[in-house]
Amino acid sequence: MSQDEGAVATKDAKSQSADNHSAAARRVKYGLSTALILLAMTFSCVVIVAIGSARHVRFDVTSTGTHTLSPRTLEILARLDSPHEVFVVADFSQVDPRALDRVHDVLVEFDQRSEHLRFSAVDALAPEERTEFSSLIQRLTALYQDNLAEHRDAINDAVAGLAPLAGQLTALGNQLSQISAQLESVPALAHLVEQASQSAAVLRTFSRDVAALEVSTNRILEERIANTDLPPVDDAADALAQPISRLTRQLEALTVYFDQLAPAIENEAPSTAYLVRTAAGNAQQTRADSATLADRLDRLPALQLMAIVRSIQAGPTIIVAASDGATAIRFSSLFPAATATNADDTSVANLRFAGEELIASAIASLSASDAPIIIFTHADPSPLLDDAGDPVSPRGEAFLGRLIDHLRLRRIDAREWLVSVDDSPPNLIEIDPEARRPVVFVTISHPAAASPEAAAGVVKLADATQALLDSGESLLISVEPSTLPRIGTPDPLVESLAPLGVEVKSGMTVLRRRSSPLGVSVFPGQLLTPSDAFDHPIARAIEGLDLLLPWPVAMNITEDATSAAPLLDLPANDDVWAESEWAGFRTMAPAQRAMLSNPPAPDPQFDDVEGPWTLAATIDRRLNDLARNQRVVVVGANGWFFDEFTQQARIVDGVTTAKYPGNAELFDAAIYWLAGQEELIAPSPTSMRVARIGPLTNGQLGALHWGFIVGLPALVLLAGASWRLLRG
């Protein structure tokens, strides 16, 4: 090899070595860069996960807000200022896991939204969790120890009084046997012997029964419920109260018998008459002692602790506990057995709304010591509710049954003022002894009829409404169409509203005409979807929710009104008018109305054909002698909050929703506004089942189509041209 060739080889070797060194350096450099990038990405993922765990953020893009707590629930949680705990107590082996996951999601959301709320699950049957379950029962017992002690004291006193009462009954029975024997010796009084003998036998039977009550009551108190240390004191009180009440009624009848017997035998057997009067005095004393025992047992307040434990005993339960009380929610509907759950996810999806509604309402009921009291005011001849606020008849159950349950969830008590019977509202001292809770009167109107009784009822309701307005009470007034203006007689119920700036035209009802291939149909109900036209808390709560007003009447807000404002408006429409000749049309059955060949039609000469029509209004006025403003809500329809309308349902996107959710929301919002509790006015979970995001219009769909077909390519070309210009 020549010298030149050697030099070239050496140079090539050096060049190859340099290239190898450069490639190795690059590999190290790229390897380090890749490692650093992977490390940075891993660290970023760890940080993101940590932040995500600490800061729970979700974006809910469902049309019904399926994964978002309702505004009302958020408001309730925001107002919590003391610790609250939610316990899910169940045999979890029998709970549908899908349902459990749904409600667990709700409780997690509750927990993260409020620092004052925590939740935990307690398996009521798992041996390893018996300590936790017992601890929960002990805590609940401590919350209600005074209430429990009151029941135990009453039961002990009643048991202690049984032996003396049995002795009194035995003595009375002996006196009656003696009276019977003396009557037998007087032939003219022989016909009275049998009744005296039967009464003596009854008293001896009662004496034995009363003596046996002590044994049976003690046997009940030895029992334990729901695997706890609690005796069934409620069962013991019931076991005592019922027979003692029957005994009191029997002794009352016996006293009447003695009062009638003594003068009847005075002439024939004066000595026996004296004995009867002595027995009558003994019977009165025995009756008084029995009535005292029965009255104390009857007046015992509800034992909330036993209601909670009974719920646990009956099945899966959610317990919401605060520092001064607790409440239980049966959730068999929220946690159905696996065999009862549909194959699809529809029923499970609905559980979220039900769970949120129930739990949020329970929390609100514990944290609100000043929940409103509603007094349903009407002039029906028969009551709808009993003294405890429960439906007293099938009619009351059909009208208000579900509404009463709905109100109780919010700790809102309901009472009734039957103005046709009582001249003054019911006494509320038992449920509001300190008169701290706001009271809202809710009127139920009645159509003016030809019968004198019905006409008198309308007048009494009008007088009661006027008296309530004059005294500054809060009212939710529902107006029924009236035939009186048609015959030139003012409607007394709406006359009192005119001075407040609301002129209700109750002589007409607003109808809607609809054409179809089968002909023209006229409907007496108006379906509204309130918009944001009015800036009012009630209006905001019902915005976008379907609302049905049956047989509505329109009203005007007078120009000089300073305290009245519209709440619901029905826009002008050629097919909508206020009909004056509606009475005959209303008497027809719905099927008959649909078959009419000549249904009502707008007549500008007699009807109001110019819209829009105001169908609800609010009044907020200052009265000098009141520390607060008087508030009134007037709705131009009657019965719109009855179960008939609020409980109608439909299925939308596989979810069961209320057909007219605005009816229930309007009632709730009106009650809270009238009670001065605007902070509780917000859409509830059940109202959020209704899609607030409307379907896309044809124009919007067309714009999206052209945007994807033309817009995206044009955007790419524009981006490329911009980049080229930037680079020169």
**Average pLDDT for the chain:** 81
Q: CB of 546 within 8 A of CB of 690?
A: yes
For residue 464, the model assigns a pLDDT of 95
pLDDT of residue 337 exceeding 50, the answer is no
For the chain, first and last CA: distance in Å? 55
Among 171, 200, 165, which residue's Cα sits nearest to residue 288? Answer: 165
Is the pLDDT higher at 615 or at 368? Answer: 615
Q: Are strands 525-528 and 474-478 parallel, antiparallel or unpaired?
A: unpaired
Beta bridge partner(s), residue 478: 635
* The pLDDT value given to residue 201: 82
Contacts of 505 by beta carbon, 8 Å cutoff, 6+ apart: 485, 553, 554, 555, 556, 578, 608
Strand partners, 522: 513
Q: Of 48-57, 338-347, 494-503, 684-693, which has the strongest mean pLDDT?
A: 494-503
Per-residue pLDDT at 689 exceeds 60: no
Return d(Cα 634, Cα 566) in angstroms, integer. 10
Residue with tokens 């690059």: 26
* % pLDDT > 70, the chain: 83
Tell which residue, 476, 530, 443, 479, has the closest CA to residue 675: 476
Q: Residue 203 in contact with residue 176, Cβ under 8 Å?
A: yes
Report the interhelical angle of 145-160 vs 193-221 (nearest 10°). 140
The confidence score (pLDDT) of residue 340 equals 37
- Please list, in sequence order, all residues whose beta carbon lies within 8 angstroms of the beta carbon of residue 525, skipping any fewer than 6 positions away: 512, 548, 549, 550, 551, 552
Q: What is the pLDDT of residues 251-305, one digit of tens each?
A: 888 888 878 888 888 888 888 888 888 888 888 898 898 888 888 887 777 777 8
Element containing residue 623 per DSSP (H, E): none
Residue 565 predicted with pLDDT over 80: yes
> Residue 511 CB: number of other CB atoms within 10 A?
24
Q: What's the whole-model pTM score?
A: 0.64
> Nearest-CA neighbor of 479 among 393, 565, 554, 580?
554
pLDDT value of position 51:
67
Task: Give the separation between CA 571 and CA 579, rounded to whole angstroms.
Answer: 16
**Locate tokens 């999601």: which residue?**
105
Beta strands in 359-419, from DSSP E residues, in sequence order:
373-378, 413-418
Per the structure block, which two tokens stand in for 431? 């449920």
Q: What's the mean pLDDT in 495-516?
A: 91
By DSSP bridging, strand 317-322 and strand 325-330 are antiparallel
Provide the pairing of β-strand 649-652 with 613-622. unpaired
The predicted pLDDT at position 56 comes to 55
CATH architecture of the domain with residue range 80-145+305-346: 3-Layer(aba) Sandwich (3.40)
Reported as a single tens digit per residue, the pLDDT across 8-29 is: 555 555 556 655 666 677 777 7
Nearest Cα neighbor of 587 from 577, 596, 574, 576 is: 596
pLDDT band at 46 (very low <50, low <70, confident <90, very high): confident
Alpha-carbon span 161 to 155, nearest angstrom: 10
Q: Which residue has the tokens 């048609």?
A: 486
The pLDDT score that the predictor gives to residue 74 is: 82
pLDDT confidence bin for 206, thresholds 50/70/90? confident
Query: Per this entry, what is the length of the chain?
Result: 728
pLDDT digit string (tens) for 417-455?
Answer: 999 899 899 999 888 888 889 999 999 987 655 566 777
Element (H, E) at 188: none
What is the pLDDT at residue 553?
A: 95
pLDDT category at 663 given cuts 50, 70, 90 is: very high
CA Rg value for the chain: 38
State the DSSP string of 294-329: HHHHHTPPP-HHHHHHHHHHHS-EEEEEETTEEEEE
Least confident of 107-111, 480-484, 640-644: 107-111
pLDDT band at residue 463 using 50, 70 and 90 as cut-offs:
very high
Find all residues with CB under 8 Å of 697, minimum gap 6, and list them: none
178 is written with which tokens?
Answer: 């003696």
- Which of 508, 514, 513, 549 is closest to 530 using CA atoms? 549
How far apart are alpha carbons 68 and 74 in whole angstroms? Answer: 10
Q: What confidence category does residue 643 fall into, taking pLDDT thresholds of 50, 70 and 90?
A: very high
**In this predicted structure, what is the pLDDT of residue 277?**
87
CA distance 192 to 268: 12
Rounded-to-integer distance, Cα 191 and Cα 173, Å:
19
pLDDT digits (tens, 9 = 90+) for 533-559: 788 989 988 888 889 999 999 999 998
Sequence ranges of the domains in the chain: 80-145+305-346, 149-302, 372-684
- pLDDT given for residue 321 in this prediction: 87
Residue 61 is predicted with a pLDDT of: 47
189 phi/psi in degrees, rounded to 5: -110, 15
pLDDT score, position 652: 59
Give the pLDDT confidence score for residue 487 in this predicted structure.
Answer: 82
**CA pair distance 32, 180, nearest whole angstrom:** 117
Is 250:210 a contact under the CB 8 Å cutoff?
no
- 149-302 maps to which CATH number? 1.20.120
339 φ, ψ to 5°? -75, -20
- Average the pLDDT over 329-341 and give the result: 48
At residue 348 the predicted structure's pLDDT band, cuts being 50, 70 and 90, is: very low
Contact 308, 329 (CB under 8 A): no
- Please tell me the distance from the alpha carbon of residue 435 to that of residue 424, in angstroms, as a whole number: 17
Per-residue pLDDT band for 369 (boundaries 50, 70, 90) equals low
Check: CB of residue 58 under 8 Å from CB of residue 67.
Answer: yes
Instruction: Please report how many Cα atoms fall inside a 13 Å half-sphere around the Cα of residue 24, on the Cβ side.
Output: 6
**pLDDT-based confidence at residue 336 (cuts at 50, 70, 90):** very low
Residue found by looking up tokens 């909670």 in the block = 308
Phi, psi of 620 (to 5 degrees): -135, 100
* pLDDT of res. 690: 45
Band of the pLDDT at 333, cuts 50, 70, 90? very low
The pLDDT of residue 58 is: 55
How confident is the model at residue 694, as a pLDDT?
Answer: 47
Strand order in the sheet with 117-123: 117-123, 84-90, 317-322, 325-330
Give the per-residue pLDDT at 239.
Answer: 85
The answer to whether the bond into 71 is cis (omega within 30° of 0) is: no
157: amino acid identity, one letter: D
Residue by residue, DSSP assigns 646-694 as HT-EEEETTEEEESSHHHHHHHHHHHHHHTT-GGG-S--TGGGGS--SP
